[in-house]
Structure 1
């Protein structure tokens, strides 16, 4: 983890840049897989499941028996933990769906807006080195609250052709029963185009590796919606002399262990804090099962020493982190000045991993500086907003001249006539 001391503002761009991989050959490979899935459906999925996952499957649908077996065999303490997390996530997200009032913009003109759940959505859940069953809660619960008509789930099978029991338990807990043992690019293709086995959806959600991310970007070009652009996971920790070095190091490592392309950034006004955190990182890294992965991520990461807390805030806003931890004195007042971040964790006792799992907020967040213009997943991500309007005869007469004048000025006489034919 490199340290940069008191950087000039002209050099900030090089500090906030993310690791970049050449995507040209990647996109070509991914497109060829998507094209085959589009043309050959289940046959292509079978071939790629054998090639990429190393298992031959005659059918991809998870049976009710498999779901019940997973519920039975999963450790009871883990089941309780998942249920507790689900309750918190549901509690937080349930307040996001609100009816809006009807507005009378003029006498006789009523306008209102209604949220309607997207009919068909697909969830992709990674299941490789770390089966992300927590993401099922983060996506399945807001989909349920939004009232989505059909929710399907795809996740890659293991070498025995099964899904992790925690994935199946979490899925049934949130009411998902259409589950398919399909991973990677072929899963995105199946949900985008539909096959004999897998129904096509209107919007795809969920994280994944660079191949899955590329596949989501490509199907978006064909008219399918996706949750957001996504890249490797990241965290920024803003720490002053009141932070606890061991806590900060643990937070940085918790993100670094996600993958070798993850990035962690420490921004501080204390050189002593940076030095102590680096020592703690070395100590804790040695104890991690995924230490090799975390070490590679740390090589792409940096600690930045700033002159003032105001400069630190400005740099943090420029970085626009997926996760931002504020371990500083007056952390709440600093948080009020944050305008670019996916999710903010305030104070020494708010680790990012709590938001990843169970506090209630959503962990599907914008990465790669997309927090400058994107929000994390919420109930809003699963609904579309339809506007309505109803005019009385008197209401139409009162607004007729306004509409006619504007339509005629734009050269759209039929628009004007649609009003005047009713009022004259």
Structure 2
């Protein structure tokens, strides 16, 4: 596309989609293949569906859904197995007497332990899963979380629809919308990432040597701006920033750098002037003198923008005995996270930071006190209006041409239940 160039590692040409690069579509294999309904001809998955499933979910602190460390090979869920949940529904084989478990917030545990497979990649925005695991909230309700690994979302999404995996962390990308529109039945059930106004973790940055020249959004005109892909959340955010300044796409040059990890090098060596970037790489590079944080997305031009979400299989959501308890533990954990990182409670930080260093790639406890962390609504709620606006943005640019009834995809009944049990979060306590 005109006005766009490709860089890999800040200099080399990035591989073209479909030729061994990020857009290459691996086959849908195993039991996951059964989840693709109404899109088969003569025993094969239609190429169009394979292509849309291959569109990667944004790899941010939100993470690529389901690429967690330590799991099955080539997109197979680690330890994948069929089996019934609490009432013969979702989840894998119920085992072990739970009569001595304490339950949580007055809700008794399941009668027998149920394993719930979670596709999560160690992203900071997966904090709710990690904290609920380490603090014993899942265990107290007789839920055994199992984190699983996938080679790509092309494997994860069909596995989730087939209930081989019950829960996944994902990003609201055009790939997700295309997969749903093409026949995969998935549910969006809770938040998993948004910017905190004034402390946005997904934000524009400028090269240190450009900081004096780029002081206002209007100064973006004529600049080279790095994004990981077109038709992405990156592009949406930059587009909103340009609109904020009265600019258009034609006023800037997009440079495609496939990995956030390569953007610091591109900023340092002058390959780009600006990058749509992510924590903790922003803080690390700022301390190294490579870049400066530019404005604030959550405050200036994308307030309330929903970045990531918790996905679930329809079978899991329908098994209320299991899914309501899972969400209760998840929301309880989100409140611990908010106490620590948003309210800045020192005692809570001391409790939660070791959990985050255990599960994520950011191992420096001191850095956790500096980085701008993902916002995670303490009641688990997501911004439905933001989802609608994102769909319209993709449609307006021709990236998405299908029709999705969001009322059939979004199910907030589980977070409603959790808040009913726990009460609304009191941020001022």
Task: Output the TM-score relative to the length of structure 1.
Answer: 0.30
Q: Specify which structure has the higher proportion of helix.
A: 1
